[in-house]
Structure 1
Amino acid sequence: MARPFLISFLFPLCIIFLLICGGSTVAALSRDDFPSGFIFGAGTSAYQVEGAAAEDGRKPSIWDAFCHAGKMPDHSNADVAADQYHKYKEDVKLMHETGLDAYRFSIAWPRLIPDGRGEINPKGLQYYNNLINELLSYGIQPHVTLYHFDLPQALQDEYNGLLSTKFIDDFTAYADVCFREFGDRVKNWVTVNEPNVESLGGYDQGAFPPERCSYPFGNCTSGNSTTEPYIVAHHLLLAHSSVVLLYREKYQAEQGGKIGITILAIWFVPATEDPEDIAAARRAVDFHIGWLLHPIVHGTYPAIMRKIAGSRLPLLSKENFEKVKGSFDFIGINHYFTISVKSDPSQLKNKVRDYVRDMAVKISNIVSLDKALFRKYIKGLPVAPWGLSELLEHFKINYGNPPIMIHENGDFEEADSTNPVTINDDFRINYLEQYLEALNLSIRNGSNTQGYFVWSLIDCFEILFGYTNRYGIYGVNFNDTEKTRYTRSSARWYANLLGGKANIKGASRDTHLVKNIALQ
Structure 2
Amino acid sequence: MSTIQLPNTASLRSDFIWGVSTSSFQIEGATREDGRGASIWDVYCQNGTIKNHDTGDVACDHYHRYREDVALMKALGVQAYRFSIAWPRILPQGRGAANEAGLSFYDRLIDELLAAGIEPWLCLYHWDLPQALEEHGGWQNREMATWFADYTALVATRFGDRVKRFATFNEPSIFSLFSRSLGERDRSSEEKLHRMIHNVNLAHGAAVDVLRANVAGASIGCIHNRQPCRPSSSSEADAAAAARLDVYWNSVFPDPQCRGAYPESMRAAIEPHLQPGDMARICRPVDWFGLNHYSPVYVKADPVSMLGYGFGDKPAGAPLTPIDWPVDPEAFSDTLQSVHDRYGLPIYVLENGYGNFDQPDQNGAVIDTGRIEFLKAYIAAMAAAACRGVDVRGYFVWSLLDNFEWDSGYSIRFGLAYVDYASLRRTPKSSFDWYAGLIKAGQP
For the criterion TM > 0.5, the same-fold answer is yes
Cα gap change, 1:314 to 1:500, in 2 (>3 Å): farther
Contact 1:30-1:498 within 8 A present in 2 as well: no
> Which amino acid is 2:12 matched to?
F
Matched, 1:44 2:5: no
Of 134, 142, 148, 1:171 maps to 148
Q: Kindly report which structure 2 residues correspond to 1:64-143, keeping only aligned pairs within 5 A, or say none.
A: 64-143=42-121
- SS of the equivalent of 2:397 reads strand
Of 196, 208, 225, 1:232 maps to 196
- SS of the equivalent of 2:252 reads helix
Listed one character per residue, the Cα deviations across residues 371-414 of structure 1 (whole Å, up to 9, x for unaligned) are xxxxx998234310101111112112222x21211111101113
Cα gap change, 1:315 to 1:231, in 2 (>3 Å): closer
Listed one character per residue, the Cα deviations across residues 266-304 of structure 1 (whole Å, up to 9, x for unaligned) are 122355677876666544332311111111122221112
Q: Distance in 2 between matches of 1:422 and 1:63?
A: 33
> Which amino acid is 1:444 matched to?
C
Listed one character per residue, the Cα deviations across residues 489-517 of structure 1 (whole Å, up to 9, x for unaligned) are 00000000000089xxxxxxxxxxxxxxx
- SS of the equivalent of 1:70 reads coil
Q: Kindly report which structure 2 residues correspond to 1:109-508, keeping only aligned pairs within 5 A, or say none.
A: 109-157=87-135, 159-202=136-179, 209-210=180-181, 212-214=183-185, 216=186, 224-248=188-212, 250-252=213-215, 255-271=216-232, 281-306=242-267, 310-311=268-269, 314-341=272-299, 344=301, 347=303, 354=306, 356-357=307-308, 361=309, 363-365=311-313, 379-399=323-343, 401-414=344-357, 423-480=366-423, 483-500=424-441
Q: Distance in 2 between matches of 1:495 and 1:442?
A: 23
Worse-superposed segment, 453-462 or 263-272: 263-272
Q: Distance in 1 between matches of 2:76 and 2:386?
A: 24
Cα gap change, 1:473 to 1:62, in 2 (>3 Å): same
- SS of the equivalent of 1:192 reads strand
Cα gap change, 1:98 to 1:32, in 2 (>3 Å): farther
List alignment gaps of at least 5 residues for structure 2.
315-319
Q: Output the TM-score relative to the length of structure 2.
A: 0.91
Structure 1 residue 201: deviation in Å? Answer: 1.2
> Which amino acid is 2:56 matched to?
A
Listed one character per residue, the Cα deviations across residues 218-265 of structure 1 (whole Å, up to 9, x for unaligned) are xxxxxx4221111111111000101111222x124xx21211111221
Cα gap change, 1:421 to 1:57, in 2 (>3 Å): farther
Listed one character per residue, the Cα deviations across residues 458-490 of structure 1 (whole Å, up to 9, x for unaligned) are 11111130100011000110022xx00001000
Listed one character per residue, the Cα deviations across residues 413-436 of structure 1 (whole Å, up to 9, x for unaligned) are 136699996601001001111000
Cα gap change, 1:395 to 1:182, in 2 (>3 Å): same
Structure 1 residue 362: deviation in Å? Answer: 5.4
Q: Distance in 2 between matches of 1:272 and 1:425?
A: 33
Q: Distance in 2 between matches of 1:68 and 1:417?
A: 30
| Identical counterparts, % of pairs | 36
Q: Distance in 1 between matches of 2:272 and 2:172?
A: 15
Q: Distance in 2 between matches of 1:416 and 1:498?
A: 25
Worse-superposed segment, 410-419 or 135-144: 410-419
- SS of the equivalent of 1:391 reads helix
Q: Output the TM-score relative to the length of structure 1.
A: 0.78
- SS of the equivalent of 1:54 reads coil
Contact 1:116-1:152 within 8 A present in 2 as well: yes
- SS of the equivalent of 1:464 reads helix
CA root-mean-square deviation: 2.7
Q: Distance in 2 between matches of 1:301 and 1:86?
A: 43
Worse-superposed segment, 379-388 or 82-91: 379-388
Q: Distance in 2 between matches of 1:419 and 1:239?
A: 50
> Which amino acid is 1:499 matched to?
K
Contact 2:405-2:412 within 8 A present in 1 as well: yes
- SS of the equivalent of 1:447 reads coil
Contact 1:143-1:186 within 8 A present in 2 as well: yes
Which is greater in Rg?
1
Q: Distance in 2 between matches of 1:467 and 1:417?
A: 15
Contact 2:9-2:380 within 8 A present in 1 as well: no
Aligned residues between the structures: 435
Q: Distance in 2 between matches of 1:365 and 1:273?
A: 12
Cα gap change, 1:36 to 1:161, in 2 (>3 Å): same
Q: Distance in 2 between matches of 1:287 and 1:156?
A: 23
- SS of the equivalent of 1:59 reads coil
The runs of 4+ residues in structure 1 deviating greater than 3 Å are 30-33, 269-284, 310-318, 415-422
List alignment gaps of at least 5 residues for structure 1.
1-25, 203-208, 218-223, 367-375, 503-520
> Which amino acid is 1:46 matched to?
S
Q: Distance in 1 between matches of 2:391 and 2:363?
A: 40
Listed one character per residue, the Cα deviations across residues 68-102 of structure 1 (whole Å, up to 9, x for unaligned) are 22121220111111001111111101101111010
Structure 1 residue 363: deviation in Å? Answer: 3.7
- SS of the equivalent of 2:190 reads coil
Contact 2:333-2:381 within 8 A present in 1 as well: yes
Worse-superposed segment, 56-65 or 380-389: 380-389
Q: Distance in 2 between matches of 1:315 and 1:471?
A: 38
> Which amino acid is 1:392 matched to?
L
Contact 2:195-2:273 within 8 A present in 1 as well: no
